[in-house]
Amino acid sequence: MAYARNPLAKRHSWLKSSRKDSWWIPQLFTAIVLLGFIGYANFRVFENAHYEFGTLLSPFYSPLLFGPADSHHAWFSKPDWLPRWISPAFLILWAPAGFRLTCYYYRGAYYKAIWQDPPGCGVGEPRKGYLGEKFLPLVVQNLHRYFLYFALLFIPILTWDVWNACWDGYGDSRRFSIGLGTLLLFGATATLALYTFSCHSLRHLIGGNRDKLSDRPAQFACYNCVSALNKNHMLYAWISLFLVAFADLYVRLCSTGAISDLRFF
């Protein structure tokens, strides 16, 4: 039997490749944005301040489980036994962070950009063996469907925050008012909803357990809806990431007095 040598079988050392295109540019961009977002989010979680201004509440701190005594957003008062450095964001952000970190799209993106497994098609990687997602640490990726259940709970809570942001003031002086903060919170919530409702796991949850969906019109319609949204999952992933960060930054800048809250009416 004759054998042909497969040119694709050639192994390159780490980051070396026969490719002539600029394969590393998207990876570099992805790494900068993701690491920048993670750095900023960590700063905000530890800062434990400037997360609300008037009727605006930062999405990083919503739901606000506890806050200052005069807070209009806090659900409870802070338990005495909780260490001072634990911010309310600590208690909630594990859910959306876990949801994003284990997202099928983001895995593809940061496996290349950060984990380097591989850095790109036909590009040498730093590891010799492939363990897949059956062993630690990558086995935790299988928790994605459970993070989805928690992520779904956030959508109505954030929607309530948008409704609150449509008002200015409290009590007798409360009046309907839309501002830049309202629009940013609305944009963040709408794109987060699109991101969550276009999740691959949600698609499986709705219709993946049936061989024939056409017998169940309501389930079939929902499945088609998620499938249609799923085509733009990557787009929703990025836009929601930016808008959540911008909405938080806006609330922070207003709260620190660096800018004033821009109200259109």
Alpha carbons 258 and 238: distance in angstroms, whole number:
27
Q: Is 105 in the site for ligand FES (CB under 6 A)?
A: yes
Q: Select 89 or 103, whichever has its Cβ closest to ligand FES.
A: 103
Q: Which one among 233, 243, 251, 261 touches ligand FES, defined by CB under 6 A?
A: 233
C-alpha radius of gyration, the chain, whole number = 22
| Segment interacting with ligand FES, rule: CB under 6 A, options 14-22, 62-70, 96-104, 116-124 | 96-104
**Residue from 165, 157, 189, 183 nearest 55 by CA:** 165
Site for ligand FES, residues 142 to 161, rule: CB under 6 A: 144
Q: Which one, 108 or 126, has the nearer CB to ligand FES?
A: 108
Collect all residues with Cβ–Cβ distance below 8 Å to 128 and sequence separation of at least 6. none
Shortest separation between residue 87's beta carbon and ligand FES, angstroms: 25
CA distance 144 to 217: 27
Assigned token pair, 50? 């400037």
Amino acid at 227: S
CA dihedral 252, 170, 89, 262 (to 10 degrees): -20
Of 4-12, 22-30, 184-192, 199-207: span binding ligand FES (CB under 6 A)? 199-207
Cβ proximity to ligand FES: between 190 and 251 the closer is: 190
Is there binding between residue 199 and ligand FES (CB under 6 A)? yes
Q: Which of 104, 150, 167, 238 binds ligand FES (CB under 6 A)?
A: 104
| Burial class of residue 127 (count of CB atoms within 10 Å of its CB; 0-12, 13-18, 19+) | exposed
Instruction: Give the one residue of 184, 200, 229, 261 binding ligand FES; rule: CB under 6 A.
Output: 200
- Which stretches of the chain bind ligand FES, using CB under 6 A? 99, 103-105, 144, 199-201, 233
